[in-house]
């Protein structure tokens, strides 16, 4: 698999998002199967793994830490801080909604992540959500100190506004922004992509497969089991979903043309947008993992991309991408 740069880090151009192994997308696989899947990803030359302390909470980091025993030097690990885990304020799915990016809390969170991940440093440490009660300059200053101490190699932001990105980068260079971006959600194109290109910051799109919809194969229905957080998202509400799924048809069309999977087409489209974009699809199945990794070999010509853009923009996507509680955490 080809590689790309995120600040000082060299990573596989397709990463692996570990969240779904322990959160949001039940049923979750047995631990031995999850570890085997991570090992398979490494064998497929995937070197970039993403987790967060709040996933579970804590258990996703613990799983990745166990999976990487003996293989830590083969990979780049990203995790995140920024929530007050254990706080009483949660959304209807039990997700923490209280933010805390005070430097003293960051240091405490980092020590926990290092312990759970069984490592002496974090390669890429993200602020999971911007904390309006803590100046971003204070957060960036803390990141600068942690880099100097060797506890992290680089840092990033998640779902941050253009203004916040600029302020943070002025104090300590930001290696990457992690935000939602896919054929299914493209608001980031309006302003953020230009800022990232100007400042030399990489982009790590989460939900690059539209929370699963862009991976659907012809005739395959979208399954939302009990406990699946997509049930709370307006874009997945029945009155919106039927029309929104029209965008899946074009992905499936190109998959047929290129003799590959819809997921590989959706990921290849992201890779073709900018050379500093590194998507992190998640999966619980080996065949899906192999399909995701194969996106690195898919070639979309300028003519393909032009046609795809025209057809994508002809679909009016309806409904917010998050529920009200989750939207309240997005930096404006």
Residue 15 CA to residue 292 CA, distance in Å, equals 9
Contacts (Cβ under 8 Å, ≥6 apart) of 122: 77, 78, 79, 110, 113, 114, 151, 152, 153
Residue 255 CA to residue 217 CA, distance in Å, equals 9
Cβ(60)–Cβ(22) under 8 Å? yes
Contacts (Cβ under 8 Å, ≥6 apart) of 237: 319
Neighbours of 43 (CB within 10 A): 10
Query: Which residue, chain included where needed, has tokens 């230009």?
Result: 194
Region class of 24: left (phi > 0), else alpha (psi between -120 and 50), else beta: left
3-state secondary structure of 30: coil
Residue 101 CA to residue 158 CA, distance in Å, equals 13
The single residue of 55, 125, 126, 185 carrying the catalytic annotation is 55
Q: Is residue 55 flagged as an active site residue?
A: yes
CA angle 16, 19, 21 (to 5 degrees): 90
Quick one: DSSP state of residue 145? Answer: H
What positions carry a catalytic annotation? 55
């Amino acid at each position: 698999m080809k590689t790309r740069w995120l600040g000082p880090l060299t990573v596989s151009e397709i990463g692996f998002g570990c969240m779904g192994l322990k959160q949001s997308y039940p049923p979750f696989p047995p631990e031995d199967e999850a570890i085997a899947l991570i090992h398979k990803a490494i064998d497929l030359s995937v070197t970039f793994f993403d987790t967060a302390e709040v996933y579970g909470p804590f258990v996703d980091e613990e799983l990745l830490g166990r999976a990487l025993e003996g293989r830590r030097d083969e990979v780049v690990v990203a995790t995140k801080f920024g929530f007050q885990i254990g706080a009483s304020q949660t959304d209807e799915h039990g997700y923490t909604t209280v933010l805390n990016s005070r430097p003293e809390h960051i240091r405490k969170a980092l020590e926990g992540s290092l312990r759970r991940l069984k490592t002496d440093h974090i390669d890429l440490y993200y602020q999971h959500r911007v904390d309006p009660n803590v100046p971003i300059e204070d957060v960036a200053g803390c990141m600068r100190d942690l880099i100097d101490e060797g506890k992290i190699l680089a840092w990033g932001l998640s779902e941050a506004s253009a203004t916040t990105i600029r302020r943070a980068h002025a104090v300590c260079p930001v290696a990457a922004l992690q935000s939602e971006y896919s054929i299914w959600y493209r608001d980031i194109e309006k302003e953020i992509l230009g800022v990232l290109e100007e400042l030399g910051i990489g982009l790590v799109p989460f939900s690059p497969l539209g929370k699963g919809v862009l991976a659907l194969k012809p005739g395959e229905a979208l399954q939302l089991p009990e406990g699946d957080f997509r049930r709370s998202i307006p874009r997945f509400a029945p009155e919106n979903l039927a029309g929104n799924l029209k965008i899946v048809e074009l992905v499936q069309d190109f998959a047929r043309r290129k003799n590959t999977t819809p997921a590989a087409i959706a990921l290849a489209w992201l890779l073709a947008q900018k050379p500093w974009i590194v998507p992190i699809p998640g999966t619980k199945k080996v065949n899906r993992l192999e399909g995701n990794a194969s996106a690195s070999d898919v070639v979309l010509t300028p003519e393909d991309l032009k046609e795809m853009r025209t057809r994508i923009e002809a679909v009016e996507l309806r409904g917010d991408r998050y529920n009200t509680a989750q939207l309240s955490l997005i930096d404006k």
